[in-house]
Structure 1
Amino acid sequence: MNEQKTIPAAPARQVHGLRPVEKAARLTGWALLLAGLGHVLRAVWEIRLWTAGEPASGPPDRGEGAHRPLNGLEDSYHVVTSLLGAATLVCAVFFIAWLWRVRDNSVALSRESPKYTGLWVYLGWVLPVANLWIPRGLIADAYRKSVPGRKLPAVVTVWWVLWLVGLLSGTGLFFRDGADEMIERAYTEIGPVLFSEAAMAGAAVTGFLMVRAVTAAQLERIASLTPAEPPAEAPTESPAEPSAAE
């Protein structure tokens, strides 16, 4: 997994295998902000649930598969949660597509094998324990191979810490509680719920900044290895024809 093989360095201005990354980065950034907005919106609904207080009939989930009918506020919370789930799925698709491109470009620029094999681009997010460091490692490796000698931006670490906090505190991408369980938590323990939502929203914003920083550094390196186009020649004026009077 961590073995690296060095490939002979490609001469400057002859970099092959580069993939367009700017559009993918832009889509990923907007998808991250959309997911962050979803967490903010759900936090608003959780505050509304906490303010309204738990109904006398108790929590929606009665256990053993029994559920009471939802009131209007609880039903709308389910809708908000479903929208957040859809936004998160879109964000995950765009993010992985961007990560593939950045990783491939780093290999083309450095002519070195990546630190992690391609399988980890997917498994790194879902495999327990490994998902605590591999996704950040993939991005850090791609950055360092793209711009060797340059310090990794602090926003990469800030994004990853916020992501882990949100993930481990119970409202992240892989949380186990369903919407009914989250409603009960909003009624009874609003503080931890809002803390987790804030962490995920913060991870989305810093993720947006991280994607921009990594992409900008890679594009700068690519531009430095790409021949500049010659300046357009100014049109030459044709000599004026002599007039009939002359």
Structure 2
Amino acid sequence: MDQASARPFGLRPVELPGQLAVGGLLLAGGAWVVRGVWEIRLSMAGEPASGPPDQGDGVHRPLNALEDSYHFVTTLAGGAGFLCALLFVSWLWRLRDNARALSGEEPRYGGIWVYLGWIVPILNLWVPRGIVADAFETTAPGRRIPASLNMWWGLWLIGMLSGVGLFYRDSTDEIIARAYHEVWPLLASDAAVVGAAVAGAFAVRAITRVQEERMRAGLTAGEPVGALPLS
């Protein structure tokens, strides 16, 4: 019987979900790099004589080819971000459940917060990081949290709160107008998002590796594992 089939009830392999989450993070980071490149192109091209795409009072002029391609790029980036979110949450759910099974302790945050923690205002400033940190600390008591985790979360917050990064308050046409006149805030926010994606990939790899090592060590040593039901 191999290790995979010998896993105690309540433990599930986390390595593949971790790899998928890393891939999703890097894909999203790459998509934001492309966004930044298009914003630079818009800035260098300059605003057309006809003015911004959104003319105000509900009037929009026809987009030129570059502006139209930016809409396409932002749509692809949004899709990459959505896929990244699905893969990351799937990894996080498994990480949390494994940590509970390994420790026999209830997680600090209920299972619903794996989803709601990202979208509830104010709470989304710390709950997602708290879920990851709690899973790590219960998996490996006494071990220092990877620096990449704090770096990921700090850059994520910058990208989220800047208003020009992850959660835009303006329409795509309004962002195009920003790129024409003041591109640097857009690029700074894009850089924060890309940095968060890279740091997040390192954090996921490090935390996944620690949990897999703990599970393998427990199986080898015959360590008792709490067989708590999954939620």
Q: Could you say whether these structures have the same fold, taking a TM-score greater than 0.5 normalized by the shorter chain as the test? A: yes
Corresponding residue number in structure 2 for 1:120: 113
What does residue 159 of structure 2 align with? Answer: 166
Deviation per residue, 1:48-92 (Å, 9 max, x gap): 000010111111012233211000000000010000000000000
TM-score (norm 2): 0.91
Give, in whole Å, the separation in 2 of the partners of 1:14 and 1:176.
Answer: 47
1:119-169 superposed Cα distances (whole Å, 9 cap, x missing partner): 111111011111000000000000000001111111100000000101111
Task: Give 1:84's aligned residue.
Answer: 77
Unaligned runs of 5+ in 1: 1-12, 229-246
Aligned residue in 2 for 1:25: 18
Matched, 1:139 2:132: yes
Residues 24 and 87 of structure 2 are in contact (CA less than 8 Å); yes or no, is this contact kept in structure 1?
yes
Aligned residues between the structures:
217
1:15 CA displacement: 4.5
Could you state the TM-score of these two structures normalised by the residue count of structure 1?
A: 0.85
Indicate the residue corresponding to 2:194 in structure 1: 201
Aligned-partner residue type, residue 158 of structure 2:
V
Residues 196-219 of structure 1: CA distance to partner in whole angstroms, max 9, x if unpaired?
A: 000000000111001001100101
RMSD in angstroms over aligned alpha carbons?
1.6
Q: Secondary structure at the match of 2:191?
A: helix
Following superposition, the deviation at residue 181 of structure 1 comes to: 1.3
Q: Distance in 2 between matches of 1:182 and 1:214?
A: 36
Secondary structure at the residue paired with 2:13? coil
Q: C-alpha distance in 1, partners of 2:72/2:7?
A: 52
Identity of aligned residues (%): 58
**Rounded Cα–Cα distance in structure 1 between residues aligned with 2:72 and 2:96:** 36
Q: Map residues 64-75 of structure 1 onto 2, 5 A cutoff.
A: 64-75=57-68
Contact 2:13/2:212 (<8 A) preserved: no
Deviation at 1:14, TM superposition (A): 8.3
Aligned residue for 2:77, secondary structure, equals helix
Q: Which has the larger radius of gyration?
A: 1
**Larger deviation, residues 93-102 vs 14-23:** 14-23
Map of 2:91 onto structure 1: 98
The letter of the residue matching 2:217 is S
Of structures 1 and 2, the one with the larger relative CO (CA 8 A, separation 6+) is 2
